[in-house]
Amino acid sequence: MKKFISAVLLLIVLGAQATVRTVSNFPATIAQFSTIQAAVDASSAGDTVYVHGSPNQYSSFDLVSKQLVVIGPGWAPDKQLPFEAVINTDIVVSGVNGVDISGASSGGAVIHGLTFVGGTGIRINTTAINNLRFIRLHMANSPILFSGSVSSGNWSGYLFEGCIINNSQIRSDNPTVHNFSNFLFQNNLFYENGCCVGGNIQGFTNTSSIMFDHNLWYGPGSSSRDCFNGNCRFLTLTNNIFVRRNAASQNSFSTFNNNITFNTTNNTPWLSNSNVNSGGNIDNQDPQMADQAIVNAGTLNATANFTIAAGPANNAGADGKDMGLLYDIVGSLNWNNSRNSRLSRIFSMNVLTPTVASGGTVTVNVEARVSN
């Protein structure tokens, strides 16, 4: 009974948008497909593939020449059975002659609410795949890669929002011939555990209109780690918090406004490497987040309380909001909501009449929640 109601509610929520295909590799959950690849292969442009949370990891899949929405439950679902949808290898976004994903009405292809562990993460193997949306992902030792196999490439209109970039990179493997424009990184947690990454953003050398807005960067308590690598240039950084993360190393000709640093090896990145100090920046002061002790210890805990009630970062952003992660009451930019997908979800389901006579009535209490 529980499984049937769950599936019906899911289809009611998504059915008006496009054809919806459901995936689960957990026998206790009803779905149309047991692998993501099978659901993708059966889908057409504009369709949605919903991947149920599962105690079992999912295999990789290829998204080839299809403008789809692939959506999971989030990186820390707030519900009774908090299973994530974990991809244990990689996916490929590609096309034979390149895929141009554009159009405000469709929003481009969307990868949303999934967790990637190990492997090669998300590989974008073809130029001119534009307007991709990476929303509320957890990239755990898994990069998002603009592939070096592309001899020259132009990518535009990307959004990275509500993600955990955990000891992982968003990178170009051939920065001398790759070009990036109109990228927005907002409300993300960039973390490095002290080994082997060398910067969460790498190879963004030929750029135009690349903005990092309202992100939190931190790392291990014993050292300061770089944010950028591979000769990044011409970035705009606004309203970010950097704790033991050096934002100047391998980052030049970039514009800084209304950022705060604390205990980094370069507390004034806006004064280094031909970077530009556009004002409002605060050097080497404690941001005073509610769980600042967790950040200072270098412990990754994405569900910690990163809000700011007082101190130098409070209401000090260029937009009048707090620096760092956003907690807007209205809309999708609230870090507390980033742990879940934007779909309505069943938080709990309880059968109130466990014993029912033949022909009797079963009473079920269902509590649903939404995190826009």
Answer with the residue of higher pLDDT: 97 or 64: 64
Give pLDDT, residue 362. Answer: 60
Gap between the Cα atoms of 200 and 240, Å rounded? 14
pLDDT band at residue 19 using 50, 70 and 90 as cut-offs: very high
Map out the domains of the chain with their CATH numbers.
13-343 (2.160.20)
Is 0.85 topped by the overall pTM? yes
| 64 SS3 class | strand
pLDDT band at residue 62 using 50, 70 and 90 as cut-offs: confident
Percent pLDDT > 70 in the chain is: 82
pLDDT at 10 over 50: no
Percent pLDDT > 90 in the chain is: 63
pLDDT band at residue 118 using 50, 70 and 90 as cut-offs: confident
pLDDT band at residue 370 using 50, 70 and 90 as cut-offs: low
pLDDT band at residue 73 using 50, 70 and 90 as cut-offs: very high
Burial track 289-312 (b if 16+ CB lie within 10 A, e otherwise) = beebebbbebebebebebebeebe
Segment 69-95 mean pLDDT: 83
Answer with the residue of higher pLDDT: 294 or 16: 294
pLDDT band at residue 302 using 50, 70 and 90 as cut-offs: very high
Q: 40-46: which pairs have CB atoms within 8 A and are 24 or more residues apart? A: 40/66, 40/68, 40/70, 43/19, 43/68, 44/19, 45/106, 46/18, 46/19, 46/106
Of the CA atoms within 13 Å of residue 121, those in its CB half-sphere come to 22
pLDDT band at residue 6 using 50, 70 and 90 as cut-offs: very low
Give per-residue pLDDT as tens, 307-318.
999 999 999 999
pLDDT at 97 over 60: no
User: 9-13, 215-219, 247-251, 336-340: which range is least confident on average?
Assistant: 9-13
Written as six digits, the tokens of 72 are 């999971």
Give pLDDT, residue 9. Answer: 41
Give pLDDT, residue 78. Answer: 87
pLDDT at 120 over 90: no
Written as six digits, the tokens of 162 are 């509500």
Answer with the residue of higher pLDDT: 349 or 213: 213
Give residues with Cβ within 8 angstroms of 31, minimum separation 6. 7, 22, 23, 24, 52
Answer with the residue of higher pLDDT: 64 or 362: 64
Give pLDDT, residue 330. Answer: 87
Give pLDDT, residue 148. Answer: 63
Are 222 and 244 in contact by the 8 Å Cβ rule? The answer is: no
pLDDT at 12 over 60: no
Are 48 and 106 in contact by the 8 Å Cβ rule? The answer is: no
Gap between the Cα atoms of 287 and 55, Å rounded? 37
Segment 229-256 mean pLDDT: 97
Give pLDDT, residue 5. Answer: 38
Cα dihedral 137, 12, 367, 23, rounded to 10, equals -40
pLDDT band at residue 347 using 50, 70 and 90 as cut-offs: very low
Give pLDDT, residue 48. Answer: 94
Average pLDDT of the chain, as a whole number: 85
Give pLDDT, residue 100. Answer: 29
Give pLDDT, residue 169. Answer: 95
Give pLDDT, residue 129. Answer: 85
Give per-residue pLDDT as tens, 156-194.
999 999 999 999 999 998 999 999 999 999 999 999 987
Give pLDDT, residue 49. Answer: 95
